C-alpha cells in the first residue's frame, strides 16, 4: 500500500512540474509587439497572456527615478526599511504593451503613458 502511494505521489509531482512549464521563453533573438492583458508571477517566472514567459528578475533600467505608480501599485516586498527597492518586471502588473526588437537584450513596456526599459537576464540569451 505504501509503495503504491509513493508511486502515485511521484507521478502526481511529475505532472505538476510539467503543468508549470507553460509559455514560450522570451529570448535575445525574438521580436515581440504584444498587448499583455494578464500576467502571472510564479516561482521566479512571469507568464504573459499564458503564451510567453521570462524571468521575473529582469531589472528596470533607470537613472535616478522611476514612475511613482510602480512603487504604489507594483506591490514590492520590503525586507527592511533600509532595503533599497530595485524595480523589476515582476512589479509591473498587466495590462501594458510590450515591445522587443530581435537580437536585443532590451525590451520596453508602455504603461500609464510611461515607456519603461528592461533588460533580459543573460541566461535568456
Q: Model confidence at 18, in pLDDT bands (50, 70, 90)?
A: very low
CB 48 within 8 A of CB 98: yes
φ, ψ of residue 42 to 5 degrees: the values are -140, 120
C-beta neighbour count of 120 within 10 angstroms = 23
Pick the more confident residue, 77 or 24.
24
What pTM does this model have?
Answer: 0.71
- Structure-block grid coordinates of residue 119: 533588460
The model's pLDDT over 43-64, given as tens digits with 9 standing for 90+, comes to 889 999 989 999 988 988 887 7
Q: Using DSSP, how many helices (H) and how many strands (E) does the chain show?
A: 2, 9
Amino acid at each position: 500500500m505504501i509503495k503504491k502511494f509513493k508511486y502515485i505521489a511521484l507521478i502526481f509531482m511529475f505532472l505538476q512540474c510539467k503543468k508549470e512549464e507553460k509559455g514560450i521563453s522570451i529570448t535575445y533573438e525574438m521580436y515581440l509587439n504584444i498587448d499583455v492583458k494578464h500576467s502571472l508571477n510564479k516561482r521566479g517566472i512571469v507568464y504573459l497572456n499564458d503564451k510567453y514567459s521570462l524571468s521575473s528578475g529582469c531589472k528596470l533600467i533607470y537613472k535616478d527615478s522611476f514612475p511613482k505608480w510602480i512603487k504604489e501599485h507594483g506591490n514590492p516586498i520590503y525586507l527592511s526599511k533600509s532595503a533599497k527597492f530595485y524595480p523589476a518586471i515582476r512589479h509591473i502588473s498587466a495590462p501594458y504593451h510590450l515591445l522587443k526588437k530581435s537580437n536585443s537584450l532590451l525590451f520596453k513596456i508602455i504603461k500609464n503613458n510611461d515607456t519603461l526599459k528592461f533588460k533580459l537576464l543573460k541566461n535568456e540569451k
